[in-house]
């Protein structure tokens, strides 16, 4: 959905309504809010769904009256077939790293990834690469001298350097594809800032915290999460990232919308936090990333994009 009223700038839209039916007039400004099924998740939709099915597709067929984009929330993500390592949980629970383990799920979650019809790893393609291609195709509307634009990526506290490798950036060989893809997201955001800040495009990363959604219901059934809720509330005494509800988890997303993009620190991840009493706030934390790794990953993503667009006859950016 490309046009929405001003009061719907920081949400995930689950319904598609034509611009005309919303009673909206053309405008030079655009808040782009992507539904889960249109956020560049190439494994679930063929590349033709992203670029159009005509032999010479226009860049996402964006209506010509849109001159620039203000914000894009890049939020789609999957964690297929997650398994909890109870051995690691028990071991970590009685160690000095218990709080860290509870707040990041480090070493606890393993996933069974698979290869998509595009020949890529599903988690990588869904959580990162589809978004990357989308951003690249929207560069003409994002890199605008009139006013700054902001990309807001949903990352995770589970994003860990040790789960990621440049030699295996799609995570074909490991069992922590989700952690790897989220760390790659952090690196990509940094690289985009280095490349495009001078063109008025900025990128920030948020962590919604531990939220009970369909993603976490894949780890344990919904009723178990509900039974554990009193314990999860108590954990807030030692770590404030147990936001638990989507409303609380979106605190950082809303907060970023209210900031000036140029004032944000591209090395920070903005965490949604909730106190034991239920008050929400944003906690900026420095990411464990470096420019050299970010630069190398960015080049690999560019090459992969070129290969994909060559196969789908999509428009190739020269930037």
CA atoms of 17 and 35, how far apart (whole Å) = 11
3-state secondary structure of 273: strand
| Long-range contact set of residues 43-47: C-beta below 8 Å, sequence gap at least 24 | 43/116, 43/117, 43/118, 43/120, 43/122, 43/125, 43/126, 43/130, 44/126, 46/117, 47/118, 47/308, 47/309, 47/311, 47/312, 47/314
CA atoms of 39 and 180, how far apart (whole Å) = 19
CA atoms of 286 and 7, how far apart (whole Å) = 31
In the set 178, 183, 202, 242, the catalytic residue is: 178
Residues composing the chain: 319
CB neighbour list of residue 307: distance below 8 Å, 6 or more residues apart: none
Q: Is 178 marked active-site?
A: yes
3-state secondary structure of 40: coil
Contact (CB, 8 A) for 100 and 56: no
CA atoms of 211 and 49, how far apart (whole Å) = 30
CA atoms of 131 and 155, how far apart (whole Å) = 12
- Catalytic residue IDs: 178
């Amino acid at each position: 959905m490309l046009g929405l009223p001003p009061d719907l700038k920081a949400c995930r839209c689950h319904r598609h309504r034509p611009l005309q039916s919303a009673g909206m007039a053309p405008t030079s400004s655009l808040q782009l809010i992507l539904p889960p099924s249109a956020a560049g998740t190439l494994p679930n939709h063929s590349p033709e769904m992203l670029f159009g099915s005509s032999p010479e597709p226009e860049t996402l067929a964006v209506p010509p009256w849109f001159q620039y984009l203000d914000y894009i929330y890049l939020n789609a993500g999957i964690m297929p077939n997650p398994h909890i390592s109870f051995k690691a949980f028990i071991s970590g629970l009685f160690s000095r790293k218990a709080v860290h383990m509870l707040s990041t799920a480090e070493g606890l979650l393993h996933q069974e990834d698979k290869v998509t019809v595009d020949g890529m790893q599903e988690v990588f393609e869904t959580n990162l690469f589809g978004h990357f291609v989308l951003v690249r195709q929207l560069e003409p509307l994002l890199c605008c001298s009139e006013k700054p634009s902001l990309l807001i990526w949903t990352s995770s506290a589970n994003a860990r350097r040790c789960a990621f490798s440049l030699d295996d950036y799609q995570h074909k060989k490991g069992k922590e594809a989700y952690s790897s893809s989220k760390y790659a997201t952090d690196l990509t955001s940094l690289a985009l800032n280095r490349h495009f800040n001078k063109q008025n495009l900025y990128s920030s990363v948020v962590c919604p915290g531990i939220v009970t959604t369909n993603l976490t219901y894949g780890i344990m059934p919904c009723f178990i999460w509900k039974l554990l809720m009193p314990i999860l509330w108590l954990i807030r005494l030692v770590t404030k990232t147990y936001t638990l509800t989507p409303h609380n988890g979106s605190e950082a997303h809303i907060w970023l919308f209210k900031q000036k993009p140029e004032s944000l620190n591209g090395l920070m991840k903005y965490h949604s936090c909730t106190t034991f009493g239920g008050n929400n706030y944003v906690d900026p934390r420095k990411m464990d990333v470096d420019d050299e790794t970010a630069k190398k990953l960015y080049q690999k993503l560019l090459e992969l994009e070129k290969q994909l667009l060559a196969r789908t006859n999509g428009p190739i950016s020269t930037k």
